[in-house]
């Protein structure tokens, strides 16, 4: 029987991380419990190696530091163990995991690293890696997600990416991409680093730009503190005199109500049809106007719905692997959604953090290896930030008219675009300002949807704020199909059955290719390029076979590789 992965946690339940907040600086120290793995009978987490459970806690810490602690300006990631920072992903865990578990683990870990970088880029919360010992593989990849890397200079501590020489796989969380794209390391040196199991230490690591500073062990803690204070001084977070520093949001426990085929998280519901391999994700509209003070209302619907949608996505990814299609629905008062959506355009600390939370949640949705299918019916409320679900979808259906067989049929469905979908300096697509809710690539979903067709985008811009019925939305190119009441059920059923009959691997490749139109960046390279290669490598006997790199590690025998390069 498949084990259920739980994503609910909080600092009092952490087994692997220690958090200490000292004014503007947060100290996040890794102290992995060797017996605290997700599958404790299969492996031990030695030398601060990590598995999914360690990263679930890290994800929780990053979210809480951003949302609950507005006064924290610098986060120092270090270790509570002597002479080891982090030795990376646990190898026995990888060797005994299913292929799907390995890929889901790598994807979630990547997303957590993205959240760290997003905090630095957009929240004014800078991350510093204090590497006071061994920093290998995924441990160095964790450090690479930080802004400033400090390595102890003790003639033994090195940074390394030893996956290729030791394990026959790739660094799984962006190491290769971040070394060359982010840190601008020469690619011949990156090649040398990635083929040296022992890694690089001291002055060489500094000269190669693998770290930013070397510090003797005798003064390491004091110098790290000084650097953390310097980074904090340049932060855009609320100042110490600001009222906002006295309080943040409270991340309450999400307590789902579940049965075999239904999960109710509150504002978000999941209904499972396992026979058809479908999950319907329904987001319920707010039932009140937004408060004047989002902090006083603890974020209300904006905070609750985003966190619950994020939890729903993770639950389905890890615990329902045979569910291949997400049907995205909304229900409720469109005008109330519009009122809450309008609040996202503010620039105060609380609003910015809620907007960034929605950004990350929508990005996690479209990074999922599932078909995304939007269903727009009477009673839907695809407005503003919720219309981003339609733009993220691979295909969409919108009922033309209403359900005539009902005694009191509701009004026909409409959709409404707002500034959340298109932030523009004028009605010309080429003059677009940065999107409020960007894709992982940094683009507007509207641009991606139309593949940069300025004429089509300009037509949509002219309709911002209007309630569009099915025919109007289709004429603007926003909807894939608009069946009427007679054809509605059959068209959707046939489309879903057809899609479920396709090779799911081919669908995953197709969807991942078509969703990200246009330019790439470091993040899309990491997920699109690295994940695809790692997926293939994990499947191969050279990595995961009985004599492959993963299964041979730690046994004393050398792996046997098939030399054919394909």
Q: What is the CATH number of the domain that holds 32?
A: 3.90.226.10
- Report residue 428 as tokens: 């010309």
pLDDT at 429 over 60: no
Question: Rounded mean pLDDT of 178-195?
Answer: 97
Per residue in 467-502, pLDDT (tens digit) is 999 999 999 999 999 999 999 999 999 999 999 999
pLDDT-based confidence at residue 426 (cuts at 50, 70, 90): very low
Compute the mean pLDDT over every residue in the chain, rounded to the nearest whole number: 93
Number of domains in the chain: 2
**Does residue 524 fall inside a structural domain?**
no
Alpha helices in 197-244 (DSSP H): 202-207, 220-233
Q: Is residue 7 part of a domain?
A: no
Q: What is the pLDDT of residues 326-344, one digit of tens each?
A: 999 999 999 999 999 999 9
For the stretch 75-93, pLDDT in tens is: 999 999 999 999 999 999 9
Residue 274 domain-assigned (yes or no): yes
Structure confidence by residue, pLDDT tens digits, 251-280: 999 999 999 899 999 999 999 999 999 999
CA–CA separation, 160 and 163 (whole Å): 9
What is the pLDDT, as a whole number, of residue 530? 78
Quick one: pLDDT band at residue 566, thresholds 50, 70, 90? confident
Residue 17's domain comprises: 13-233
Cβ(443)–Cβ(519) under 8 Å?
Answer: yes
538 vs 550: CA distance, rounded Å: 9
Same structural domain for residues 229 and 343? no
Beta-strand relationship, 148-153 and 126-131: parallel
Given 199, 233, 267, the domain boundary residue is: 233
Assigned domain for 542 exists: no
Q: Is there a domain that residue 460 lies in?
A: yes
pLDDT (tens digit, 9 = 90+) per residue, 515-556? 988 888 899 888 888 778 888 888 889 999 999 999 999 888
* Whether 259 and 344 share a structural domain: yes
The answer on 283 and 225 residing in a single domain is no
User: With 50 as the cut, is the pLDDT of residue 181 above it?
Assistant: yes
Q: Structure pTM?
A: 0.95
Measured CA to CA, the distance from residue 314 to residue 365 in angstroms comes to 9
Query: What's the confidence (pLDDT) of residue 424?
Result: 55
Residue 179: partners with Cβ closer than 8 Å, 6 or more residues away: 144, 161, 185, 190, 193, 210
For 1-52, write each residue's pLDDT tens digit.
467 999 999 999 999 999 999 999 999 999 999 999 999 999 999 999 999 9
Distance CA 71, CA 246 (A): 8
In a domain, 248, yes or no: no
Both 419 and 468 in one domain: the answer is yes
Q: For residue 289, tell me if it sits in a domain.
A: yes
Residues 437 and 290 in one domain: yes
| Euclidean distance between CA atoms 368 and 391, whole angstroms | 15
Q: Do 85 and 146 belong to one domain?
A: yes
CA separation (Å) from 193 to 146, 164, 172, 202, 518?
19, 10, 15, 14, 31
> Do both 86 and 165 map to the same domain?
yes
Asked whether residue 28 falls in the same domain as residue 134, the answer is yes
Same domain, 344 and 453: yes
Confidence of residue 245 (pLDDT cuts 50, 70, 90): very low
The pLDDT tens digits for 154-177 are: 999 999 999 999 999 999 889 999
What is the rounded average pLDDT of the residues 372-383?
97
Instruction: Read off the pLDDT band of 432 (50, 70, 90).
Output: low
Same-domain check for residues 436 and 292:
yes
> Which is nearest to 242 in space by CA: 108, 381, 60, 70?
70
Q: Does the pLDDT at position 409 exceed 80?
A: no
Q: How far apart are CA 358 and CA 272, in angstroms?
A: 24
Q: Are residues 495 and 359 in the same domain?
A: yes
Residue 425 scores a pLDDT above 70: no
Tell me whether residue 304 is in a domain.
yes
Same domain for 264 and 395, yes or no, is yes
Token pair recorded at residue 469: 């019925």
**Exposure pattern of 17-32 as b/e (b: 16+ CB <10 Å)?**
bebeeeebbbbbbbeb
Q: How far apart are CA 406 and CA 186, in angstroms?
A: 67
Q: Place 137 in a pLDDT band, splitting at 50, 70 and 90.
A: very high
Tell me the C-alpha distance between 271 and 285, whole Å: 17
* Residues counted in the chain: 566
How distant, in Å, are the alpha carbons of 48, 387, 426, 467 from that of 56? 15, 29, 42, 40
- Yes or no: say if 465 and 422 are a contact pair by the CB < 8 Å rule: no
pLDDT at 427: 45
């Amino acid at each position: 029987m498949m084990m259920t992965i739980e994503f609910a946690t909080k600092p009092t339940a952490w087994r692997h991380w220690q958090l200490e907040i000292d004014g503007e600086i947060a100290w996040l120290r890794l102290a992995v419990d060797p017996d605290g793995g997700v599958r404790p009978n299969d492996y031990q987490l030695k030398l601060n190696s990590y598995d999914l459970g360690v990263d679930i806690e890290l994800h929780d810490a990053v979210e809480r530091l951003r949302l609950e602690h507005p006064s924290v300006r610098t986060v120092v990631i270090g270790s509570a163990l002597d002479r080891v920072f982090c030795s990376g992903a646990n190898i026995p865990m990888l060797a005994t995991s299913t292929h799907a578990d390995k890929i889901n683990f790598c994807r979630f870990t990547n997303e957590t690293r993205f959240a760290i970088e997003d905090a630095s880029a957009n929240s004014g919360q800078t991350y510093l890696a204090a590497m006071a010992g061994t920093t290998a593989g995924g441990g160095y990849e964790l450090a690479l997600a930080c802004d400033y890397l400090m390595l102890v200079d003790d003639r033994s501590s090195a940074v390394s990416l030893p996956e290729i020489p030791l394990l026959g796989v790739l660094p799984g969380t962006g190491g290769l991409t971040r070394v060359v794209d982010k840190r601008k390391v020469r690619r011949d040196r990156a090649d040398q680093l990635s083929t040296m199991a022992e890694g690089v230490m001291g002055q060489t690591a500094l000269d190669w730009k693998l770290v930013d500073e070397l510090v003797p062990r005798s003064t390491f803690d004091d110098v790290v503190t000084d650097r953390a204070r310097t980074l904090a001084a340049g932060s855009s977070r609320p100042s110490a005199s600001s009222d906002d520093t006295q309080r943040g949001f409270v991340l309450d426990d999400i307590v789902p109500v579940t049965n075999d085929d239904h999960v109710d998280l509150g504002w978000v519901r999941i209904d499972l049809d396992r026979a058809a391999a479908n999950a319907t994700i329904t987001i319920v509209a707010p039932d009140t106007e937004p408060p004047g003070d989002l902090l006083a209302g603890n974020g209300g619907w904006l905070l609750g719905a985003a966190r619950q949608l994020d939890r729903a996505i993770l639950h389905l990814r890890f615990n329902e692997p045979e569910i291949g299609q997400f049907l995205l629905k909304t229900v409720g008062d469109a005008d109330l959604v519009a009122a809450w959506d309008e609040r996202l355009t503010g620039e105060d600390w609380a609003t910015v953090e809620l907007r960034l939370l929605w950004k990350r949640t929508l990005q996690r949705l479209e990074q999922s290896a599932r078909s995304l299918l939007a269903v727009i019916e009477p009673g839907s409320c695809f407005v503003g930030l919720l219309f981003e679900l339609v733009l993220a979808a691979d295909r969409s259906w919108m009922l033309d008219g209403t359900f005539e067989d009902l005694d009191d049929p509701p009004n026909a469905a409409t959709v409404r675009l707002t500034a959340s979908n298109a932030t523009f300096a004028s009605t010309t697509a080429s003059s677009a300002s940065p999107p409020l809710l960007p894709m992982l690539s940094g683009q507007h979903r509207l641009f991606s949807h139309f593949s940069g067709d300025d004429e089509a985008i300009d037509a949509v811009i002219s309709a911002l704020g209007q309630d569009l019925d099915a025919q109007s939305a289709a004429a603007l190119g926003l909807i894939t199909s608009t069946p009427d009441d007679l054809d509605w059920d059959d068209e959707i059923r046939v489309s879903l059955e057809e899609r479920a009959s396709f090779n799911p691997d081919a669908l995953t490749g197709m969807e991942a290719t078509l969703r990200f139109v246009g330019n790439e960046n470091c993040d899309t390279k990491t997920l699109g390029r690295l994940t695809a290669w790692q997926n293939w490598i994990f499947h191969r006997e050279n990595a995961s076979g009985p004599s492959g790199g993963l299964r041979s590690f730690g046994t004393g025998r050398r792996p046997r590789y098939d030399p054919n390069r394909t």
